[in-house]
């Protein structure tokens, strides 16, 4: 009894050295550092604070959406509808602001922002209920809502664009994307706040632990008295909330949406999550890794733009390669561990 | 005769001074082992004794760090990854290697399909499958999908697969763990038939009565060392158990303590039915250990899951301390002090990819929440307490649960369930696939719980366990509660007669 000499024991010993440095957690950050070095070699302008801050700012939409996707994927689900959801929620927000129901511009803006958060959450709730109560594979369920949200946007805009009409409101809202606090651009600040809250929820609360358990094994979660469907639905709502936050930054940037807003963003968000080290099969979620993944995607585009050897039209192909390489690296690290 | 004179007959397969290390840790120390033609050789030892490693080496799934293997007396190095099957050496895994979406016939010929002019010869393969299954006395349909089969039938398919490959040596790792007594008998008959035809078996098990019943020779391993090889006829269960643990097993079962007849009824089940279980009623008193016996598939797990709300009820009431419990609300049941420990510790009990602490506290996280967030210090304290109380032993506290031995996993699962502070504990198969030493600890733990005033229901397929632990035993058969035994009626013969349908109590 006292001595468990067996293969279990053996692997324990071997694992110890690997566990002290969890390669899977470190890998995305190492890749990010490597990219920055490459970028600096390609073009000296790359390393400037202005350029890097620009890159981070532009990654904000995908990064914030991907934080939500980290919850959904950790719980063992998938949400393909986020790109369409951005277009839909943003359209509704602009239409509401154009409606002029509230005279005071500041009050109007506050109400519009509140409405956006509510609509985003409802869109997420719809995805969650269709998946859990309707017992439809998340892939199919959100493929459906992806079409629905996109179609509704096209209908609302009658195939064209929806533009914020009031110049006064535009001026009022503009700093939400272009402004900065203590020298830090607002979008970067928002990324940091959203990620910090998300990390706290995922790692330090009961709900976060339940997400991990549900993603690792639905059966174990059920036999441990966890309300599996509620946990999954809430993850979809968090995703919707993150989409709404991304919309709050998106609308002041262009002041307009169209039927093509947010196309393929769902793929970029999933790529960011996977590159960040979260397992697509559920279980281990890595929020900070996700942010890192989103930066990597944006950095690659930036480096291509600043360099002359690769055409920037190839960016989609490069991003596609990144996700495949990330998966291969993740798997080889798992094997060694 | 089993004790064939040394050298008179060459072993089919033997290991000479085989050692094996994983990294810095040595798990086998110069072990000798041989398999004679046409014998059943039992390999026993506690969890972690090195049985599985030795079996993997002998079947080519691992290679020895030193020492050599001989096939028919000639040194051989076995091909890796199961390719040794071509040499007639076949390992039937504890967890089956069957694809759920294939039919029985397709599974049997997987990877060596018979073709005619390049087209699958299905008719031949189905006929051959039928022939082998008939030979085994199995009624499994050759066209049935593996996914639809009962566990016992899957085991039969695995054995049929081994036979169809003209095996010379078949390694069976805990083959009866999931089989009922009847199915075990059928399996043993087949083993005896094949043995008479010259096939050799290596039989890894924890069940010593089966060792006595079936094997010709026994080899005992302890802590990676060879301890003894002897003809079974020269040993008995007690002496084997002693060789395995290396110390006297004082008493496997603690003293029973019957609750007073006027003790409170803590759980009462009235007319409970599910889609399979029909009209089950019983009561459980404070401080009682009630056993649930019956064949596999008799509905024991189903009734327990219906009671705790993990499964829908069609009819009937469950009263906890006199107050009714809503159906299909497991969380409410847990809040009311009812706990259920599953028999499927890998699939339903533990998160294998996580560490010990997240598993321990998963069901009781609200106890570790402070101002809305989880307090790691409190979780660590709980883990330290559980390790002491349940004697969980690991080399590294950060080990993934999937890497722990079965016994430690079982103790961790028990600790997890006990974290909810239950008053009524339903334990489904408390000791499946764990070693004698750990079994004894778990038995004593159950008895201690009862003494402290908890009530325990033990669901078990191992009759000695139910007999040794429980003051009352309920017997289930095909979804019905057919007998409630007390006192001297609690013995193997009586339980078996109820379980097999030879006897039935009128009013239970």
For residues B499 and B39, give the distance between their C-alpha atoms in angstroms, rounded to a whole number: 32
B246 interfaces chain A, CB cutoff of 8 Å: no
Distance from CA of B76 to the nearest CA of A (A): 24
Number of other residues whose CB lies within 10 A of the CB of residue B3: 12
Residue numbers in A near B50 (CB within 8 A): 5-6
CB contact under 8 A, B435 and A1: yes
Q: How many Cβ contacts (< 8 angstroms) between chains A and B?
A: 136
Q: In which element (H, E) is residue B498 found? A: helix B492-499
Question: Which residues are within 8 A (CB) of A193 and not within 5 positions of it... i.e. 6 or more apart?
Answer: none
With contact defined as beta carbons under 8 Å apart, do B221 and B43 qualify? yes
For residues A232 and A213, give the distance between their C-alpha atoms in angstroms, rounded to a whole number: 11
Question: Which residues are within 8 A (CB) of B7 and not within 5 positions of it... i.e. 6 or more apart?
Answer: none
Distance from CA of B373 to the nearest CA of A (A): 5
Residue B183 has pLDDT above 80, yes or no: no
For residues B309 and A110, give the distance between their C-alpha atoms in angstroms, rounded to a whole number: 46
For residue A2, give the chain B residue with the closest CA: B393
CB contact under 8 A, A220 and B22: no
CB contact under 8 A, B373 and A217: no
- What per-residue confidence (pLDDT) applies to A334? 66
Q: Per residue in B118-140, pLDDT tens? A: 888 888 889 989 988 887 777 88
Among B310, B361, B405, select the one facing A223 at the smallest CB separation. Answer: B310
Backbone angles phi, psi at A77, to 5 degrees: -110, -170
Q: Per residue in B412-464, pLDDT tens? A: 999 999 999 999 999 999 988 787 788 889 999 999 999 999 999 999 988 88
Q: How many CA atoms lie within 13 A of B415 on its CB side?
A: 26
For residue A219, give the chain B residue with the closest CA: B348
With contact defined as beta carbons under 8 Å apart, do B122 and B142 qualify? no
Q: List C-alpha distances in Å: A123 to A129, A222, A238, B88, B423.
A: 10, 26, 10, 60, 43
Q: In which element (H, E) is residue B74 found? A: strand B74-76
For residues A206 and A224, give the distance between their C-alpha atoms in angstroms, rounded to a whole number: 13
Give the three-state DSSP class for B480. strand
For residues B284 and A133, give the distance between their C-alpha atoms in angstroms, rounded to a whole number: 36
CB contact under 8 A, B330 and A225: yes
Among A4, A221, A224, select the one facing B405 at the smallest CB separation. Answer: A4
Mean pLDDT of residues grouped by 10 in chain A (337 residues)?
A: 38 44 80 90 86 93 97 96 97 94 91 97 97 96 97 94 91 92 93 97 94 94 94 98 97 92 93 91 89 93 82 84 86 64
For B116-176, the DSSP string reads: ETTEE-HHHHHHHHHHHHHHTT----TTSBGGGS-HHHHHHHHHHHHHHTT-SEEEEESTT
Among B22, B363, B366, select the one facing A10 at the smallest CB separation. Answer: B22
- Sign of the C-alpha dihedral computed for residues B432, B438, B440 and B442 taken in this order: negative
With contact defined as beta carbons under 8 Å apart, do B249 and B440 qualify? yes
CB contact under 8 A, B27 and A210: no
DSSP lists the bridge partners of residue A161 as A258
How far is residue B278 CA from its own chain's centroid?
27
Q: List C-alpha distances in Å: A250 to A64, A261, B293, B508.
A: 11, 10, 64, 69
For residues A69 and B174, give the distance between their C-alpha atoms in angstroms, rounded to a whole number: 43
- What per-residue confidence (pLDDT) applies to A9? 39
CB contact under 8 A, A19 and B398: yes
Residue numbers in A near B47 (CB within 8 A): 4, 6
Backbone angles phi, psi at A24, to 5 degrees: -65, -30
Q: List C-alpha distances in Å: A285 to A69, A108, A231.
A: 10, 37, 15
Please, what is the angle between helix A82-99 and helix A138-156, to 10°? 30
B278 interfaces chain A, CB cutoff of 8 Å: no
Residue in B237, B244, B250 with CA at minimum distance from that of residue B210: B237
Distance from CA of A244 to the nearest CA of B (A): 25
For residues A13 and B26, give the distance between their C-alpha atoms in angstroms, rounded to a whole number: 11
For residues A270 and A216, give the distance between their C-alpha atoms in angstroms, rounded to a whole number: 18
For residues B285 and B455, give the distance between their C-alpha atoms in angstroms, rounded to a whole number: 7
Among B24, B53, B347, select the one facing A219 at the smallest CB separation. Answer: B347
Burial bucket for residue B358 (CB in 10 Å: 0-12, 13-18, 19+)? buried
For residue A218, give the chain B residue with the closest CA: B348
For residue B371, give the chain A residue with the closest CA: A205
Among B53, B396, B420, select the one facing A7 at the smallest CB separation. Answer: B53
CB contact under 8 A, B362 and A213: yes
Confidence band (pLDDT; 50, 70, 90) for B283?
Answer: very high
Determine the longest span between alpha carbons in chain B, in angstroms. Answer: 78
For residues B94 and A76, give the distance between their C-alpha atoms in angstroms, rounded to a whole number: 28
Residue in B182, B181, B183 with CA at minimum distance from that of residue B158: B183
Mean pLDDT of B301-310: 95
Q: How many CA atoms lie within 13 A of A148 on its CB side?
A: 11
A9 interfaces chain B, CB cutoff of 8 Å: yes
CB contact under 8 A, B25 and A205: no
DSSP lists the bridge partners of residue B42 as B203, B218
Mean pLDDT of B168-196: 83
Mean pLDDT of B182-202: 86
For residue A220, give the chain B residue with the closest CA: B348
With contact defined as beta carbons under 8 Å apart, do B474 and B290 qualify? yes
DSSP code of B22?
Answer: E
With contact defined as beta carbons under 8 Å apart, do A222 and B328 qualify? no
Question: Which residues are within 8 A (CB) of A11 and not within 5 positions of it... i.e. 6 or more apart?
Answer: B22, B23, B403
For B175-206, the DSSP string reads: TTTT--HHHHHHHHHHHHHHHHTT-EEEEE-S
For residues A168 and B49, give the distance between their C-alpha atoms in angstroms, rounded to a whole number: 79
Among B23, B348, B373, select the one facing A14 at the smallest CB separation. Answer: B23
Question: Which residues are within 8 A (CB) of A272 and not within 5 positions of it... i.e. 6 or more apart?
Answer: A62, A63, A66, A69, A290, A291, A293, A294, A296, A297
Among B27, B52, B441, select the one facing A5 at the smallest CB separation. Answer: B27
Backbone angles phi, psi at B193, to 5 degrees: -60, -50
CB contact under 8 A, A6 and B399: no
Residue B176 has pLDDT above 90, yes or no: no
For residues A39 and A299, give the distance between their C-alpha atoms in angstroms, rounded to a whole number: 8
Q: What number is the ipTM of this complex? A: 0.84
Q: Per residue in B1-30, pLDDT tens? A: 444 444 458 899 999 999 988 766 678 899
Question: Which residues are within 8 A (CB) of B430 and not within 5 positions of it... i.e. 6 or more apart?
Answer: B341, B410, B414, B442, B443, B446, B458, B460, B465
- Those of residues 11-40 in A touching chain B at CB distance below 8 A are 11-16, 19
Q: In which element (H, E) is residue B58 found? A: helix B51-58
Q: Best residue in A12, A17, A219 to probe B by mutation, most B CBs within 10 Å?
A: A12
Q: Per residue in B372-412, pLDDT tens? A: 889 999 999 999 999 999 999 887 888 889 888 888 999 99
Q: In which element (H, E) is residue B441 found? A: helix B436-451
* Residue of B345 and B501 predicted with greater confidence: B345
Residue in B286, B290, B343 with CA at minimum distance from that of residue B320: B286
């Amino acid at each position: 009894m006292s001595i468990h000499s067996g293969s279990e024991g053996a692997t324990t010993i071997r694992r110890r050295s690997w566990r002290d440095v969890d390669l899977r957690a470190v890998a995305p950050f190492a890749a990010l550092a490597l990219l920055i070095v490459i970028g600096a070699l390609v073009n000296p302008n790359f390393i400037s604070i202005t350029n890097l801050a620009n890159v981070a700012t532009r990654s904000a939409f995908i990064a914030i959406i991907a934080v939500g996707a980290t919850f959904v994927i950790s719980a063992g689900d998938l949400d393909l509808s986020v790109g369409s959801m951005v277009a839909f929620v943003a359209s509704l927000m602009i239409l509401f602001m154009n409606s002029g129901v509230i005279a005071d511009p500041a009050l109007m803006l506050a109400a519009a922002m509140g409405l956006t958060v509510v609509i985003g959450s409802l869109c997420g709730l719809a995805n969650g209920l269709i998946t859990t109560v309707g017992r439809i594979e998340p892939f199919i369920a959100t493929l459906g809502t992806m079409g629905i949200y996109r179609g509704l946007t096209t209908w609302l805009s009658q195939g064209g664009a929806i533009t914020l009409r009031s110049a006064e409101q535009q001026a009022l809202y503009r700093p939400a994307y272009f402004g900065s606090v203590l020298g830090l651009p607002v979008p970067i600040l928002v990324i940091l706040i959203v990620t910090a809250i998300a990390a706290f929820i995922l790692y330090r609360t009961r709900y976060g632990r339940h997400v991990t358990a549900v993603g690792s094994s639905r059966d174990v979660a059920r036999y441990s008295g966890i309300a599996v469907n509620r946990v999954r639905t809430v993850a979809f709502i968090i995703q919707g909330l993150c989409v709404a936050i991304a919309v709050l930054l998106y609308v002041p940037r262009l002041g307009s949406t169209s039927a093509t807003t947010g196309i393929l963003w769902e793929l970029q968000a999933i790529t960011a999550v996977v590159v960040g080290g979260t397992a697509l099969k559920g279980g281990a979620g890595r929020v900070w890794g996700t942010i890192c993944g989103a930066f990597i995607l944006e950095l690659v585009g930036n480096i291509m733009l600043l360099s002359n050897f690769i055409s920037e039209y190839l960016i989609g192909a490069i991003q596609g390669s990144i996700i495949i390489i990330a998966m291969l690296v993740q798997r080889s690290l798992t094997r060694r561990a | 005769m089993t004790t064939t004179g040394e050298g008179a007959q060459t072993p089919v397969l033997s290991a000479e001074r085989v050692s094996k290390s994983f990294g810095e840790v040595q798990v086998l120390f110069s072990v000798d082992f041989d398999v004679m033609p046409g014998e059943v050789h039992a390999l026993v030892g506690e969890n972690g004794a090195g049985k599985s490693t030795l079996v993997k080496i002998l079947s080519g799934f691992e290679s020895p760090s030193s020492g050599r293997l001989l096939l028919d007396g000639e040194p051989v190095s076995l091909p890796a990854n199961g390719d040794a099957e071509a040499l007639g050496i076949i390992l039937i895994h504890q967890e089956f290697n069957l694809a759920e979406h294939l039919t029985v016939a397709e599974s049997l010929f997987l990877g060596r399909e018979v073709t005619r002019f390049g087209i699958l010869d299905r008719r031949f393969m189905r006929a051959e499958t039928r022939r082998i299954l008939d030979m085994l006395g199995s009624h499994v349909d050759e066209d049935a999908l593996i996914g639809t089969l009962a566990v016992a039938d899957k085991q039969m398919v695995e054995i049929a697969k081994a036979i169809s490959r003209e095996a010379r040596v078949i390694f069976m790792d805990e083959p009866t763990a999931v089989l009922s007594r009847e199915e075990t008998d059928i399996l043993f008959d087949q083993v005896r038939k094949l043995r008479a035809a010259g096939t050799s078996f290596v039989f890894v098990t924890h069940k010593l009565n089966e060792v006595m019943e079936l094997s010709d020779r026994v080899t005992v391993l302890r802590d990676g060392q060879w301890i003894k090889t002897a003809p079974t006829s020269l040993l008995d269960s007690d002496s084997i158990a002693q060789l395995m643990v290396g110390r006297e097993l004082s008493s496997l079962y603690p003293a029973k303590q019957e609750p007073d007849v006027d003790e409170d009824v803590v759980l009462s089940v009235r007319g409970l039915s599910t889609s399979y279980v029909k009209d089950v009623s019983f009561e459980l008193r404070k401080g009682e250990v009630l056993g649930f016996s019956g064949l596999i598939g008799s509905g024991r797990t189903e009734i327990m899951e219906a009671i705790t709300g993990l499964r829908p009820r069609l009819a009937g009431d469950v009263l906890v301390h006199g107050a009714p419990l809503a159906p299909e609300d497991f969380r409410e049941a847990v809040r009311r002090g009812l706990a259920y420990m599953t028999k499927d510790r890998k699939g339903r009990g533990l998160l294998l990819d996580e560490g010990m602490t997240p598993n321990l506290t998963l069901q009781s996280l609200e106890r570790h929440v402070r101002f809305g967030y989880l307090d790691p210090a409190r979780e660590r304290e709980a883990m330290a307490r559980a390790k002491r109380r349940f004697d969980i032993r690991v080399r590294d506290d950060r080990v993934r649960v999937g890497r722990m031995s079965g016994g430690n996993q079982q103790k961790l699962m028990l600790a997890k369930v006990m974290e909810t502070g239950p008053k009524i504990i339903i334990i489904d198969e408390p000791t499946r696939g764990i070693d004698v030493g750990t079994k004894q600890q778990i038995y004593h733990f159950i008895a201690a719980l009862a003494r402290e005033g908890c009530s325990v229901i033990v669901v078990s397929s191992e009759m000695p366990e139910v007999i040794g632990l429980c003051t009352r035993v309920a017997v289930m058969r095909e979804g019905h509660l057919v007998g409630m035994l007390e006192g001297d009626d609690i013995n193997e013969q009586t339980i078996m007669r109820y379980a097999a349908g030879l006897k039935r109590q009128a009013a239970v």
